[in-house]
Copies of this chain bind each other. A is one copy, B any other.
Amino acid sequence: MPILPDERHAAILDRLLRDGRVLAADLAAEFDTSEDTIRRDLRDLAAAGRCRRVYGGALPPAPDIGPVSRRNGVARDAKRALGHAAAALVAPGWTVLIDSGSTNLRIAEALPADRDVTVVTNAPAVAAALAGRPRCTLVVLGGRVHPTVGAAFGPRTLRDLDGIWADLAFIGACGLAAGPGLTVFDPEEAEFKRRLLVVSARAAVAVTAEKLGTAAPFVVGPAAALHHIVVEAGTPDAALDGLAGPRSRVHRADAA
């Protein structure tokens, strides 16, 4: 059964998205082809901007798509302000779902330590940030942690989510635009986030400026389904056109 070059290209991108990196030797073994062909594929993909060529293999094109920990350094102050504005949406005694993403990690850190709150999360970084807080009941959703996303969202995670009800869910976003709505880079991740919307009374998303107006391949849902949209202080009104539905409220983070 021969494998079409286009199929191979798609498979390579798929693996790149899944694992966060690919090795030329591995790909050659997997597709039973020579490393030369793989090199040519990677060269073409890199020329098209779909990946970044490195010695021995390839990496995702933008470091933004890489592991979440690598993103923690950039735009930290803006995300901290976003985190405080979003954390203010949480009332005492609530149960809060916190999804993955560096912005959501800032929300978790910004949660007041003196208020009783139950946090449910699928992101180890969020869990580690909240572990040890005495007034915080912390529940972790299990499953395989996706290496590039830094969170679990497979079938085991969905099973763990069963029987949980939250007052508010903070959804992570890779892109937020008027047309496609809230989008991410992984289909399973999108499915998990859709499930979050189902098991919570309200949904909120906090996005930095560079994600507004952009879209990733997989749609979670329309922005109008969100109850709260938290954006940076200087966001122009034009960037929010068509985002908020009748039930949505837009919050601007205080300037840093």
Give 29 A-B contacts (CB < 8 Å), ordered by A residue. A4-B23, A4-B55, A4-B56, A6-B54, A6-B59, A7-B21, A10-B66, A10-B70, A13-B70, A14-B69, A17-B69, A18-B69, A20-B134, A67-B132, A68-B131, A127-B127, A127-B145, A131-B145, A132-B147, A138-B147, A139-B142, A139-B152, A140-B142, A140-B143, A140-B144, A140-B152, A141-B142, A142-B160, A160-B160
Q: Which of chain A's residues 63-87 have a Cβ closer than 8 Å to chain B?
A: 63, 66-70, 72-73
The interface size of chain A toward B, counting residues with CB under 8 Å, comes to 55
Within the oligomer, what is the number of copies of this chain?
Answer: 2
Give A residues with C-beta under 8 Å from B.
1-2, 4-7, 10, 13-14, 17-21, 23, 25-26, 54-57, 59, 63, 66-70, 72-73, 124-125, 127-128, 131-134, 136-145, 147-148, 150, 152, 156-157, 160
